[in-house]
Chain A
Amino acid sequence: MIDSVKSISHEEQLVITRVVARAGQLLQAYNAESRIIEHTTERLGLAFGLDSVEIALTSKAIILTSRFGDNCITTTRAMKAHGIDMGIVCEVQRICINAEKKIYNVEEVKQRLVNINVPKYNALMVAFFVALACASFSHLFGGDYIVFFATLVTSFIAMLIRQWLTQLHHNLLTVFFITAFTATFIGSFASAFNWGNEPELVMITSVLQLVPGFPLINAVSDMVKGHVTIGMARWMTATLLTLASTLGIVLAVQLGQYGGWL
């Protein structure tokens, strides 16, 4: 015990607290589960010799208090949503484990968290594979190969539009609305020309890329593990995203009906 007792000055504690808050902020911004945020910040703080790190999570901010002896420091970080990026979550977790193993010191961890950089996949490749995922859904729902290729093309175009709108930093709801509208509008022509065994599958499955699976799963896992308020916020976000895409679908279907091809 004696050798592990190391005194931390107030300035050192400030630096450590900032580093821990940065880690928590990154995890929250890139959609990690609340339990991971709690555990990672606590372990990082303990690894640097603090007595405890307590964290309060809200849907738009994290508040954390670090304690060493009688000295407490509390800090708040607002959350800037960045969408889902598991690469960053992995990297933060890896940095935390390396800090626990004493491979990185505070300064190194700080540098690595500030300049965090995770390679992204090529956008066209992502669009193609997401389209392939939607086409696979159409097969799982019983569509033949004509439906498969029609879905592939439709959702590829929709995915390109989605990437373009995301790049322009539009509101996520707008992005989902416009993408769902385009996918359904293009897909409705498969029904108009009666392609494949079940033409309406093209419309249905090419919008499946917009199902907010991540917030939905996170919502229930958070609620199961006791973070009920955050879970509710995530559930509501997911419901709104579904509503936005449904509005797009309904608009496109009604347009098709007025136009007379549906």
Chain B
Amino acid sequence: MSAFMSNVGGISEVLLMMLDDAFFAGFAALGFALLFNVPRQALLACVLFGASAHAIRALLLHVGVPIEWASFIAATLLGLATVPWSRKVVIPRIVVTVAAVIPMIPGVYAYNTMTDLMALHHQGYSQALLQSVVENGLLTIFVLIGLSFGLAIAPVLIYRDKPII
């Protein structure tokens, strides 16, 4: 019983974490949607898709899925979910998918790669710096590939050669 209770406590904690995550990821998606001049009727969709995709990824990360696979799964679900929406409102998918995916882009890792690359030149070779460059760089590339492959799953695998709208 006590194990069950602690399990429930764990679940509500995870739900709270996901809600918090979704709330702030939604704001992040909104900011970038406005920057990309996404039309008004697609703004809410950007926020909701971005928030739910980021929350799903947070859940997967919490369960222990590696970040590149978590990003891939979240982006795949996002890509599939946008298809019916895109058909209904006749707006190309790219208008919402990119803004929704932006919160998941590994920006910090990309900057870390570049700063360490510069430090490698500035301070001379060191094992730790090179390790950081390689690890951050690989992580950036794999997460990005996971995200864009995920978005491409819907048109490439399921709606082959048929335009979505």
A-side interface residues, number (CB < 8 Å): 57
**A89 and B149: CB pair below 8 A?**
no
Q: Closest CB of chain B to A228's CB: distance in Å?
A: 14
B-side interface residues, number (CB < 8 Å): 46
**A126 and B111: CB pair below 8 A?**
no
Task: Judge if A137 is at the interface, Cβ distance under 8 Å.
Answer: yes
**A97 and B165: CB pair below 8 A?**
yes
Task: Judge if B108 is at the interface, Cβ distance under 8 Å.
Answer: yes
Q: Which residues of A contact B14 (CB under 8 A)?
A: none
**A208 and B91: CB pair below 8 A?**
no
Q: Which residues of B contact A193 (CB under 8 A)?
A: none
CB-defined interface of A30-73 with B at 8 Å, one 1/0 digit per residue?
00110110010001000000000000000000000000000000
- A137-B156 Cα distance, complex, nearest whole Å: 31
**A242 and B111: CB pair below 8 A?**
yes
A-binding residues in B (CB < 8 A): 21, 24-25, 27-32, 34-39, 42, 90-92, 94-95, 97-99, 101-103, 105, 107-108, 110-111, 114-115, 118, 144-145, 147-149, 151-152, 155-156, 163, 165
B-binding residues in A (CB < 8 A): 32-33, 35-36, 39, 43, 84-90, 93-94, 97, 118, 120-121, 125-126, 129-137, 139-141, 204-205, 207-209, 211, 213-214, 216-221, 224-225, 242-243, 245-247, 249-250, 253
Known: A32-B94, A84-B35, A245-B111. 11 other contacts (CB 8 A): A86-B39, A94-B90, A120-B37, A132-B30, A136-B28, A137-B103, A211-B111, A213-B107, A217-B105, A220-B145, A250-B118
